Every structure is written in structure tokens, then in C-alpha cells.
Amino acid sequence: MTRKPVQTDKAPQAIGPYSQAIATETLLFTSGTIPIDPRTGKIPEGSIEEHAHLVFRNLRALAEAGGASLANAVKVTVFLTDLANFQRVNAVYAQYFSEPYPARSAVQVAALPLGAAIEVEAIIALGQA
């Protein structure tokens, strides 16, 4: 199996010893993406919806850098520090994914890096959507 790192300046740079994403021959695995503005390297002020949009735009940038799109997503995991935000995030999520929707998990966690309220990771098929 070949593992190729995927790197783009259109998504936040890694804040630790990991790759933004790794591509194999058939799949792209993204690292967890938090709402960091790739231009500033900071989490901007904003609502959970604004942060969710930023996360999904960053995820889309990673998919495109790997030669795919979010339409190719087969599995998405959403981490929230407060499940009370689930419906609000779900409404944003529906703007980035369409049927057939990828498999998905959404879980509440105690904390996320840099105090983020949301983190999302995806497994994306490489090739035609």
C-alpha cells in the first residue's frame, strides 16, 4: 500500500506531528479539522454555524487537494463539545453533502484542540463521484 501525504495552504496547517491528509491508491483520510482560518492560523470569533462552515470549507479544500470532492465522502465523523449544537451543525452539514449521504458518526467530547467546539474528519473515495 502506498501512503502519500496531501498538503494544501487552503486548509489549516497541522498543529502537531501529523499530515493534513493521507492518500492511498483508493482512499483519502483527512485528519480532524477544526475551525481554523487557514489565512490567519487562528479560530475566528463566531457562531457554531460559522465554525461549521469553516470546518467544511477546510475539509473540501483537503478533498480537492487529494484529487476528490466531498461528493466522494464515504464516512464522516463529527466531534462536538456540546451535542446541543447537533441540529445547528446538521443544517450546515446538509449544505456540503448530498444523497447518497456518507455514513456518519457524531459524538460529544470533553474538549477539542485550541478550545474548538467542532472537529470533523472524513474518509473520501478517490475517483469518480
Place 128 in a pLDDT band, splitting at 50, 70 and 90: low
Cα(38)–Cα(45) distance, rounded to whole angstroms? 14
Residue 5 has pLDDT above 60, yes or no: yes
Place 15 in a pLDDT band, splitting at 50, 70 and 90: confident
Q: Which residue, among 116, 124, 126, 121, has the nearest Cα to 48 in the 3D structure?
A: 116
pLDDT, mean over the chain: 96
Residue 63 burial (10 A CB sphere; 0-12, 13-18, 19+): buried
| The CATH fold of domain 4-125 | 60s Ribosomal Protein L30; Chain: A; (3.30.1330)
Map out the domains of the chain as residue ranges: 4-125
